[in-house]
Structure 1
């Protein structure tokens, strides 16, 4: 994943008003959890470096580890360079996931839909639960859409004068798409990568083959986990939200949530006429729509939507149509572009790491990936694999906050271990997906775009998301372990 963009015009904070340190309406237990969350986030905000630092450190550590394994220095250097450029198509595809989700979320029709949705809840607690449900549903379509959509919905609800909603709890609820369900939906980086042979490195393709969506996110076991997490998360968001006089509103926090203008200036020169005319929009949508229709009619819709090219063009075409005028669409795209900087530089480095892990120490020797695979196999059985891998992926996910990039690190040895232990390969992907999302709940890295939109700090919402993590962690691990017994291993399917 990559950070969704923060539009400075969306957040207009004013000087903060003092907020009581202790919320009189909170129980002692929830107060303790909230204080722990605030302390944790305060530490993370001070000491947690940029994600690029983590991947740079990972490159150095892996290179040293591969050298220690006996690989020649020249081979390590060559594998780094070859691997760096091996996933450029996938890198650009993931960048367009961000752009497509953003342009759809900020389009005038979607903004109007958000304003109508904001009139539905009748109570402050109901509003928090409503945000949680809406955000998680949107995350099944696109994690990029989820962050922006959730933030705008929270702001729209906060503008209601007849609703006393705890703004912090609502902000945490808007984050649940990233913290609970995104990796179980259509924009799952690992599932998308494994379903597209052109996006896989040759070494990984030889291990896993192609794993279609029907064997990952569309397994009934995966959809069951998604449904359970949806219900549980909404219930926790609703039950933990302060109500009545104890609710801390946006006004109390000093956040300006007034509706921002999305108007664009009229054309000033004759050459700008086409930028403001829907003529080219209509023609482009017709052409792109013709290709999309062909893709969905010539094959199963599951196969069609699992193709990242189809998925991204669908969102971009929808975004163009919803913005209607090319100028408005281009403004939205330009505001989304800064968010893809991390993808463009970090994903090639993750691909280079994946390449280095497969370098053998000599013509007949094992690679570092093989050594890790053997450790996984020796320490596990088919029954314990889901638990071990789930815990491992969750811990690593806090230090490498990138669903797609981290999968490139784990996939070679995780899927090889799954092959040797006879674990369903698609379920191995879903174990990774469900566990990888867990650290997002307390990782300020992914909170940044959302808190930028709603005008808060990560510390303001992490107390509520930390409470979600306490429940999610044992629940997810149990489901991953229990449902693994309902699946049967199948050998890799080569394209």
Structure 2
């Protein structure tokens, strides 16, 4: 039955799922119409909400693009490639390969979601070159599936927001420490279950594939590899481009700035992660020239991220300003009790995430409603936030937007992996929902 479900989902999504850009255009039209039908706004008002929101994620879009290209350059360094080779010696069979990719992606994503997206995709690509008979689509799906743990990890949006003094809900709920969310027994138990369950699911899917789609090693050849003979240091400019000292001194300055920032009490955020990745890549490549060659390869996959962020920002603007997001959240909350609110928080966040695929942006809309419900029902606030966090991450398995970095690195389309991701979403959804309810 499990194999039949996997093959059925893969066939359906391969046939009917459009490109993510087409999907975001369709969602835009649906939300535009829903704002007029359910909230009574006129078309001119909805156009205003859409246009006002369209540019709200420009800085975040640039951050995501930089996260992709800088993470790619680090992952393509000789040091990382050596690590991948050692992992590949353990994963000699197709089933072990997908299990290993899923497990590593989960671990890295728990520490930082941006690095996890890139590392998982690079590992999947390299594993496909080394393990014969493994389905390349499933490898990439297994890498992306690790993203399901991001909002339960150290770079989680909502738990870090409510733990920060001065957050927008402080007057309502006070400061909620990460001990009540990220490091709570509930969240850690769910993380442990997913850490075991997800790789096992990926392994079973690989086992049930009758005709795996494989790729030849030469199809995934390193495009940035160049002949060293072409890099002869014959002129001052070429010697400067190949200078190890210039790369290492620049990297040392970058690391010194990070240490100064940390000593001064600076916390972990997206900007500091990107800053570290830039100088780490420069140091590990050993010369500006090799760094730029790899960077050039990485930049080719950024187009989808850059063009879709404004559209999702526009959707978020319409959902928030029209009241649609509040209406949806309130509808879910109205059927809750103190015992079921964490589960309802999970389900409602999963549904709204399809329209607002930004954890921080979604929390700004849904957080006040959930926290008011938690206080009125006397529910555990930390558990409700944990439920929200898992719900926001859960439906990313069918929301291809966040898969774009992995797909760009792998050279695949969303329809190639979404069938597998749906199976993962169904199985993990039952497990997460059950644990939240218990």
| Partner in structure 2 of residue 236 of structure 1 | 201
Q: Contact 1:394/1:436 (CA < 8 Å) preserved in 2? A: yes
Instruction: Give deviations 1:238-291, integer Å, cap 9, x for gaps.
Output: 233238x9563625xx78545324236637864465443233433333233223
Q: Quote how far apart the aligned CAs of 1:476 are.
A: 0.7
| Partner in structure 1 of residue 12 of structure 2 | 39
Alignment of 1:189-268 (within 5 A): 189-191=157-159, 194=162, 213-242=178-207, 246=210, 248=212, 250-251=214-215, 256-263=218-225, 266=231
- The alignment's C-alpha RMSD in Å is 4.1
Q: How far apart in 2 are the matches of 1:79 and 1:196?
A: 29
| Partner in structure 2 of residue 149 of structure 1 | 119
The equivalent position to 1:284 in structure 2, one of 250, 261, 265, is 250
User: Are 1:116 and 2:86 counterparts?
Assistant: yes
Q: How far apart in 1 are the matches of 2:412 and 2:61?
A: 31
The equivalent position to 2:27 in structure 1, one of 28, 51, 54, is 54
| Partner in structure 1 of residue 303 of structure 2 | 338
- CA 1:371–1:153 in 2, change beyond 3 Å: closer, same or farther? closer
Instruction: Give deviations 1:372-425, integer Å, cap 9, x for gaps.
Output: 665555332222212222222223333444444444443343344334444444
Q: How far apart in 2 are the matches of 1:197 and 1:349?
A: 29
Q: How far apart in 2 are the matches of 1:331 and 1:52?
A: 34
Q: Contact 1:59/1:349 (CA < 8 Å) preserved in 2? A: no
* Alignment size in residue pairs: 430
- 1:304 is paired with a residue whose SS is coil
Gaps of at least 5 residues in structure 1 are 1-27, 358-366, 483-495
Q: Contact 2:326/2:366 (CA < 8 Å) preserved in 1? A: no
User: Are 1:173 and 2:147 counterparts?
Assistant: no
Q: Contact 2:325/2:365 (CA < 8 Å) preserved in 1? A: no
Q: How far apart in 2 are the matches of 1:374 and 1:29?
A: 36
Q: Quote how far apart the aligned CAs of 1:57 are.
A: 5.3
Q: How far apart in 1 are the matches of 2:13 and 2:325?
A: 33
TM-score by length of structure 1 reads 0.71
User: Are 1:304 and 2:267 counterparts?
Assistant: yes
- 1:383 is paired with a residue whose SS is coil
Q: Contact 1:105/1:145 (CA < 8 Å) preserved in 2? A: no
| Partner in structure 2 of residue 293 of structure 1 | 259
| Partner in structure 2 of residue 382 of structure 1 | 338
Q: How far apart in 1 are the matches of 2:150 and 2:405?
A: 16
| Partner in structure 2 of residue 468 of structure 1 | 424
| Partner in structure 2 of residue 138 of structure 1 | 108
Q: Contact 1:133/1:230 (CA < 8 Å) preserved in 2? A: yes
Q: How far apart in 1 are the matches of 2:374 and 2:33?
A: 27
Q: How far apart in 2 are the matches of 1:227 and 1:316?
A: 32
Q: Contact 1:158/1:165 (CA < 8 Å) preserved in 2? A: yes
| Partner in structure 1 of residue 287 of structure 2 | 325
- CA 1:478–1:445 in 2, change beyond 3 Å: closer, same or farther? same
Instruction: Give deviations 1:24-60, integer Å, cap 9, x for gaps.
Output: xxxx551244213421442222798243553575467
- 2:207 is paired with a residue whose SS is coil
Q: How far apart in 2 are the matches of 1:467 and 1:206?
A: 41
- 2:18 is paired with a residue whose SS is helix
Gaps of at least 5 residues in structure 2 are none
Alignment of 1:430-469 (within 5 A): 430-451=386-407, 453-454=409-410, 456=412, 458-469=414-425
Q: Contact 1:87/1:351 (CA < 8 Å) preserved in 2? A: no
Q: How far apart in 2 are the matches of 1:418 and 1:384?
A: 10
